[in-house]
Structure 1
Amino acid sequence: MITKKKICVIGLGYIGLPTAVMFASKGCNVSGVDINSEVVNLINSGTPHIDEPGLILELNNQINSGNLKAFDRPIESDVYIIAVPTPIGSDFKADLSYVDKAVESITPLIKLGNLIILESTSPVGTTLRIRDALAKKRPDLKILIEDNSNADINIAYCPERVLPGRIMEELSLNDRIVGGITNACSKKAKELYKIFVDGEIHITDSKTAELAKLTENSYRDINIAFANEISMICDDLKINVTELIRLSNKHPRVKILEPGVGVGGHCIAIDPWFIVESDPTRAKIIKLAREVNHNKTEWVYKKILNEINNIKPKVLRIGIMGLAFKPNVADLRESPAMEIALKLALNTDVTIILSEPNINKIPTEFAGLNIYLDNRENAFEDADIIVALVRHKEFFSMIKRYEYKNILDFCGLLM
């Protein structure tokens, strides 16, 4: 039975760790791998280094059962799942060095019958890149390009499609796409994910699966960009954007999203650039949407800066509501709110009081700056300006206490 085979998950971040836990919970012998020794030690003690509902309980169950253990290097296994970061560089192109290092680390361990799966969001062709690297480094293995089942190893791509805050639920409930370098590889990957996935598993080729993941997030980015662009137009025309969108959405085929301060997280803010990288001539709307959402963050920062400069006497204290990249999570990755708060701290001499109910210590990026974390409501009593950046559920009652103050609401808390 495949459920008793050994699975090695490389990269124990927001996707890798929950995935390792899910396989372990179904009886698999799972080795989790991370190059950060602190992360390895935390996981082996039953303490996740990421905040995700339901994760800590299930992690402890699987550590205690012996089904899951973390290491700082890969362990010989039957299945290798690569879930490492794929950031973009300053040139807006994918940095695949983590993927390359992961492949290099497992190359000596690979043996006949192994299944290798890439989960990291990647540009089109990355799975074939893995195939080519392994074919070059392991000429003793038959890694076929043609579609038949006689290859020594199987290679496939299976992107995640989960929402932070619901990862443990959605890993099993959501449909998955698997794309192998051959149809036989796809079938092997589908068999593996059926261990814990209750949603439907759709088979395709690796390039289509890679582009599907990027297309899903680019679609969302474009829709967010439309809302953000409309919000800036409304500001120029002195129109209430909340009222405008409410009325426009009365049309039976219109569903405009709520505007925000930009786009963050490790998916939507990055993935569209991988399509632009693959086909820069054609990806015009995708690139423009990325630019609109990036520029919305700068626009918000300048609006706050302008308000500071307009108020007399000089503003001494600003209350900022929200740092996470989206409502009701603790995830600060690529957060536009973080970027705005940091720029204000670096470029003004005001005191900044942060309220972020999902974290309990100030991020290291703010070390040494005139910026503090205080989630108490009375922290805003003396604020000259209150800036709402993230629509956390805790803020709806909180902001009502300060409706008499100068409030810059960029996330619809006052709607």
Structure 2
Amino acid sequence: MNKKVCVVGLGYIGLPTAALLANRGYEIHGVDVVESTVETINEGNIHIVEPDLDTFVRAAVNSGMLKASLQPDYADIFIIAVPTPFHDGFVPNVDYVVSATKAISSYVKDGNIVILESTSPVGTTELVESTLKEEGIDTSSLFISHCPERVLPGYIMRELVENDRIVGGITEEATKKTVEFYQTFVQGEVLSTDARTAEMAKLTENSFRDTNIAFANELSILCDKFNIDVWELISLANRHPRVNVLQPGAGVGGHCIAVDPWFIVHAGGDDAKIIKTAREINTYKTEWSIEKIKNAALTFENENGKKATVACMGLAFKPDIDDLRESPALYITKTLKDENFNVLAVEPNIKDHDDFEIVAYDEASEKADIIVYLVAHKEFKGLKNLDKKVIDFCGILK
């Protein structure tokens, strides 16, 4: 069994993967471009919030099986787990993937497995290969594959092991070699395909979720217009044996569902009609939520002769994590602040933020005139709202 793994990118996927592998007997050389992240990990600590991750990292570092660095090193297996955001206009940005590939090019050698785990537009794994070729590497002796992560924040350490994985290689032999590697630590089934299908599979999974959430968000807007409780409506509709409407929110966030559908839309153009419409509905729901809060605040001011203090409960993109990437809650809170509304920013999973003073949830609940539930964090459940105006976008009061 190949024993040394170089993991490039020590974020929400790279670090858990590195820590898990280190605890399974692999020697891990982790790479990140942020010096403070490298220092934190080498001290046995973590820079992100994820249940059980701290235990895995501490054990891995203390055993000497996990070391972090600013530069790659020689290894048997290379895993690229860097961000894939988009440019303005929702154009995919794979610059980090290209940079990571160039960074490892001086260290790859014959027989190495190179795995792209970053969720990527179709064709990106082929770009990894062509980038290595441009760097003078004979890729015919490498095994290059795509294996997209499929984990849920809050359950990453468990799902890295239990979930099925999809592996698509540039060649059949690359697929086989990569499958064998994942089978050493994945309890779920490791499914074989080609690189392009593996890339599209991950985009499809997230676009499916986005489309179904868009249906729920559109329902919530209609129910507000019709004066119907959307939560009761969905509960009743879901009693049908073949109906499973998801829960609405203030939009859709996170680095996957809020981003990946645009990769398909960009490449698919006019043929990606439903996927594009779903993205637009979920983006609109966030703007709609902002207008609803602003109207409530202005109504309060007209009735009371003073500006309303609005408690924005939650900044993360989903409950009980600290991940703010593409978060509609964060966007809503920043927009209200930028438009000079009196905002109390509440996020129990982070200590500070560059744009806000983070206020304790019980203090905010007491001081606010209007309480806006943006994220269903466990700390907010059962919170007494007294006689305050409450706007619940996440169903935490149900």
- Provide TM-score, normalisation by structure 2: 0.97
Which residue identity does 1:394 align to in structure 2?
E
The CA distance in 2 between the partners of 1:69 and 1:296, in whole Å, is 43
The 3-state SS of whatever aligns with 1:381 is: helix
Aligned equivalent of 1:314: 306
Q: Determine if contact 1:23/1:195 at 8 Å carries over to the other structure.
A: no
Aligned equivalent of 1:328: 320
Which range moved further: 70-79 or 306-315? 306-315
Aligned equivalent of 1:356: 347
Mapping 1:56-135, distance limit 5 Å: 56-135=54-133
Q: 1:379 aligns with which of 364, 367, 372?
A: 364
Aligned equivalent of 2:18: 20
Which range moved further: 13-22 or 104-113? 104-113
Confirm whether residue 389 of structure 1 aligns to residue 374 of structure 2. Answer: yes
Which residue identity does 1:386 align to in structure 2?
I
Matched residues, number: 395
The CA distance in 1 between the partners of 2:16 and 2:102, in whole Å, is 24
Q: Which runs of 5+ in 2 are unaligned?
A: none
Which residue identity does 1:332 align to in structure 2?
L
The CA distance in 1 between the partners of 2:66 and 2:56, in whole Å, is 11
Encode CA deviations 1:18-56: one digit per residue, 9 max, x unaligned.
111111111111100001111111100011111111111
| Identity in percent | 51
Aligned equivalent of 2:242: 253
Question: Aligned-pair distance for 1:248?
Answer: 1.1
The CA distance in 2 between the partners of 1:379 and 1:341, in whole Å, is 14
Aligned equivalent of 1:161: 150
Q: 1:115 to 1:376 in 2, by over 3 A?
A: closer
Aligned equivalent of 1:213: 202
The CA distance in 1 between the partners of 2:13 and 2:68, in whole Å, is 15
Q: Which runs of 5+ in 1 are unaligned?
A: 144-150, 367-371
Which range moved further: 317-326 or 26-35? 317-326
Aligned equivalent of 1:148: none
Q: Determine if contact 1:385/1:407 at 8 Å carries over to the other structure.
A: yes
The CA distance in 1 between the partners of 2:169 and 2:341, in whole Å, is 55
The 3-state SS of whatever aligns with 1:338 is: helix
Confirm whether residue 365 of structure 1 aligns to residue 338 of structure 2. Answer: no
The CA distance in 2 between the partners of 1:260 and 1:403, in whole Å, is 23
Q: 1:35 to 1:382 in 2, by over 3 A?
A: closer
The CA distance in 1 between the partners of 2:111 and 2:25, in whole Å, is 20
The 3-state SS of whatever aligns with 1:226 is: helix
The CA distance in 1 between the partners of 2:234 and 2:258, in whole Å, is 23
Aligned-pair Cα RMSD in Å: 1.3
The 3-state SS of whatever aligns with 1:280 is: helix
Which residue identity does 1:241 align to in structure 2?
V
Which residue identity does 2:46 align to in structure 1?
P
Encode CA deviations 1:201-221: one digit per residue, 9 max, x unaligned.
000000000000000000000
Which residue identity does 1:181 align to in structure 2?
I
Q: 1:212 to 1:133 in 2, by over 3 A?
A: same
Mapping 1:167-186, distance limit 5 Å: 167-186=156-175
Question: Aligned-pair distance for 1:314?
Answer: 2.5
Q: 1:376 to 1:93 in 2, by over 3 A?
A: closer
Aligned equivalent of 1:407: 390
Confirm whether residue 240 of structure 1 aligns to residue 240 of structure 2. Answer: no
The CA distance in 2 between the partners of 1:330 and 1:392, in whole Å, is 11
Which residue identity does 1:355 align to in structure 2?
V
Q: Determine if contact 2:167/2:191 at 8 Å carries over to the other structure.
A: yes
- Provide TM-score, normalisation by structure 1: 0.93
Which residue identity does 1:74 align to in structure 2?
P
Encode CA deviations 1:177-231: one digit per residue, 9 max, x unaligned.
0000111100110111122111110000000000000000000000000000010
The CA distance in 1 between the partners of 2:149 and 2:367, in whole Å, is 44
Question: Aligned-pair distance for 1:380?
Answer: 2.3
Aligned equivalent of 2:30: 32
The 3-state SS of whatever aligns with 1:202 is: strand
Which residue identity does 2:276 align to in structure 1?
K
The CA distance in 2 between the partners of 1:118 and 1:44, in whole Å, is 24
Question: Aligned-pair distance for 1:349?
Answer: 4.0
Aligned equivalent of 1:147: none
Q: Determine if contact 1:118/1:157 at 8 Å carries over to the other structure.
A: yes
